[in-house]
Amino acid sequence: MEIWLNQSYTHDFVLLGIFSHSSTDLVLFSAVMMVFIVALCGNVLLICLIFMDSRLHTPMYFFLSQLSLMDLMLVCTNVPKMAANFLSGRKSISFLGCGMQIGLFVCLVGSEGLLLGLMAYDRYVAISHPLHYPILMSQRVCLQIAGSSWVFGIIDGLIQMVVVMTFPYCGLREVDHFFCEMLSLLKLACIDTSIFENVIFACCVFMLFLPFSIIVASYARILRTVLHMHSAQAVRKALATCSSHLTAVFLFYGAAMFIYLRPKRYRAPSHDKVVSVFYTVLTPMLNPLIYSLRNREVMGALRKGLDHCRIVNHH
């Protein structure tokens, strides 16, 4: 075991990546980097607006700031290393770096999945019990919801990182992905990891279906409330507040379920890599756009911020 660990610690892994140096792939790489920059700026801007504008100091926007923070960390976990490897021509990643990527990725995806689920409960309380909303979604409850999402993700990430990095790895140590994705890494283990893979599959089912069941239950009750509303304006307002969250849910869960809940025989590295780009780069870019462009309060806060900048510049 000691020899295996020594070998594992001293040898780097090779990330085969998603792009070659063909002209088509250069265009695709440039597009991914543009999306990365937009995701970075969009999430930083949304966090700053929510922090600075007192009108956005509500439970929904507090959760949105946490979602943006998770998205920000998610894009920074994998994309900079992928870009550095592509531009330098080096494809290696250290054993420690690989472990860090696995831990952070699992932690952030787990936290975000649970937070999206609990955000559905927030929408349910806001629409179905508006008079009790300040009590049911007090500051303490909001902190507990956000805190439990982070803690759940951190524990999950730490456990999976420790287990995966104690397996012995041998051979060429080539990971057929653009980051240290756990399922791709397990293929390189010198021992049979099928039991651990089955445990991971069970955990993924639980981690995806627990929040998803909260979402389905919350929206079933929201729909029932909406159907009993007599005002067309109230119906429109209720649907508007839910549409942004539902769009984010379908983007995140669609990609996650495609990767982690497919039977092994249908898995192809090329498909996984493309879908991974979708929810490690594209979804974090779309989330702030979905929530801001469809939202009067956020657009109002942005205009207020821009007006303040103009006044400062004139002086």
Tell whether 6 is covered by a domain. Answer: no
Tell whether 245 is covered by a domain. Answer: yes
pLDDT of 253 reads 83
pLDDT of 3 reads 42
pLDDT of 314 reads 61
Six token digits for residue 44: 């930083």
Domain residue limits at 200: 12-302
Are 136 and 145 a contacting pair, CB within 8 Å?
Answer: no
pLDDT of 1 reads 43
Tell whether 60 is covered by a domain. Answer: yes
Using CA atoms, how far apart are residues 149 and 171, in angstroms rounded to an integer? Answer: 38
pLDDT of 311 reads 67
Tell whether 236 is covered by a domain. Answer: yes
Q: Which ranges of the chain does DSSP label H, i.e. alpha helix?
A: 2-10, 23-52, 59-88, 95-128, 133-136, 139-166, 182-186, 194-227, 232-260, 269-277, 283-293, 296-314
Note down pLDDT in tens along the chain; length 315 residues.
444 444 445 578 988 888 877 888 889 889 999 999 999 999 999 998 888 888 888 898 899 999 999 999 999 999 999 999 888 888 889 989 999 999 999 999 999 999 999 999 998 998 888 899 999 999 999 999 999 999 999 999 999 999 898 888 887 788 888 899 888 888 888 888 888 888 888 888 888 888 888 888 998 888 888 888 777 877 777 777 788 788 888 888 887 777 777 776 666 666 777 778 877 888 888 888 887 766 777 777 777 777 766 666 665
Tell whether 308 is covered by a domain. Answer: no
Tell whether 192 is covered by a domain. Answer: yes
Tell whether 311 is covered by a domain. Answer: no
What is the domain count for the chain?
1
Using CA atoms, how far apart are residues 169 and 186, in angstroms rounded to an integer? Answer: 9
pLDDT of 37 reads 95
Are 117 and 148 a contacting pair, CB within 8 Å?
Answer: no
Tell whether 190 is covered by a domain. Answer: yes
Six token digits for residue 220: 């079933």
Angle between helices 232-260 and 283-293 (to 10 degrees): 180
Are 221 and 215 a contacting pair, CB within 8 Å?
Answer: no
pLDDT of 177 reads 87
Q: What is the pTM of this model?
A: 0.86
Burial 88-116 (b: 16+ CB within 10 A, else e): eeebebebebbbbbbbbbbbbbbbbbbbb
State the CATH number of the domain containing residue 27: 1.20.1070.10
Look up tokens 């981690």; give the residue.
Answer: 207
Strand order in the sheet with 174-175: 92-93, 13-15, 174-175
